[in-house]
Amino acid sequence: MLDKKLLDILACPKCKGDLEYDEKRDILICKKDNIYYEVKNNIPILLIDKAKPLDEK
């Protein structure tokens, strides 16, 4: 689970928009771009080339 303070400052690296944390799937979702970023070992992988289409998960 990610820290609330960290979630408050994270932004999508692609569009700079808000990210929504899905605790159950442990991913960060950008609804504007319809993509998600994985979280591994409590570390968000916020690299644009590692983003995956939201419909894939």
The domain limits of the chain are 4-56
Confidence of residue 13 (pLDDT cuts 50, 70, 90): very high
Give pLDDT, residue 40.
Answer: 96
Q: What is the pLDDT of residue 35?
A: 98
How many whole angstroms separate alpha carbon 48 and alpha carbon 23? Answer: 21
Residues 6 or more apart whose CB falls under 8 angstroms from that of 48 comprise 13, 14
Q: What's the CATH class of domain 4-56?
A: mainly beta
Q: What are the distances in angstroms from CA 48 to CA 5, 42, 52?
A: 22, 18, 9
- Residues 5, 16: Cα–Cα separation, whole Å: 17
For residue 5, give the 3-state DSSP assignment: helix
pLDDT in tens, 18-54: 999 999 999 999 999 999 999 999 999 999 999 999 9
